[in-house]
Amino acid sequence: MTGRRGDAPRRILLLGLGGGGFHFEIEHLVSQMPADLELVLVYSIHTQVHGNWRSPARAHRAFVVRSPALFEDSWPRRVRASLAACWRALGILLATRPDCVLGVGTAQAVPFAIVARLVGVPFVFIESVTRVGGSSRTARLLSTLRLTTIHYVQWPDLVTNGRGRFAGTLVS
């Protein structure tokens, strides 16, 4: 699925948008990337889709995918929601054909990482800067299942057992 024509801008699918800290971290990261990117935005909250993207980078398309971890659902409902999220992720990845999927902290990362692995798209996960004392459940699951191409942490103490790379923090 990877491999874009030479003159096409790199297309990156971004996870963790919605208006909170993950969103802020992604916008800050994108502001440090090359300007010729084409972005696919995946929000977790429907009301945040319009007018909440303040980056000068071009947004190719935007989608909303429910994040099961945001709700206190029962175990069976979480399983159904996760399977639905994987199906939705597959549709989004096939429709947008990104060069890379980038997730910051969000539980949406799990279904997208599974599908990205299946269709051959690199998946980069960045643990949130708020995770100072230990990894999130999402990061632990992604690491255990070996679903990330690259896994970054934002604090040097979180690099453990060969998991995670430290390259600094997104925000200072």
Asked if 16 contacts 124 with a C-beta cutoff of 8 angstroms, the reply is no
pLDDT tens for each residue of 50-99: 566 677 777 878 888 876 655 566 778 878 888 888 999 999 999 999 99
| Residue where the block lists tokens 């003159």 | 7
> Phi-psi region for residue 146, left (φ > 0), alpha (ψ -120 to 50) or beta?
left
| Pairwise pLDDT comparison (134 vs 81), residue with the higher score | 81
pLDDT-derived band at 132, boundaries 50, 70, 90: low
For the ranges 3-7, 14-18, 37-41, 132-136, the maximum mean pLDDT occurs at 37-41
Among the four given CATH numbers 3.30.930.10, 1.10.1740.10, 3.40.50.2000, 3.30.70.20, the one describing domain 11-166: 3.40.50.2000
pLDDT tens for each residue of 98-126: 999 988 877 788 899 999 999 999 999 88
Is it the case that residue 167 has pLDDT exceeding 80? no
Give the number of other Cβ atoms within 10 Å of residue 168's Cβ.
9
Q: What is the distance between the alpha carbons of residues 142 and 124, in angstroms, rounded to a whole number? A: 10
What pLDDT does 2 receive?
47
Asked if 159 contacts 127 with a C-beta cutoff of 8 angstroms, the reply is no
Locate all alpha helices (DSSP H) within the chain, ordered by sequence.
21-31, 75-96, 109-119, 137-144
Domain ranges of the chain: 11-166
- Which of these, 20, 30, 34, 32, lies nearest to 67 by C-alpha position? 20
pLDDT-derived band at 48, boundaries 50, 70, 90: low
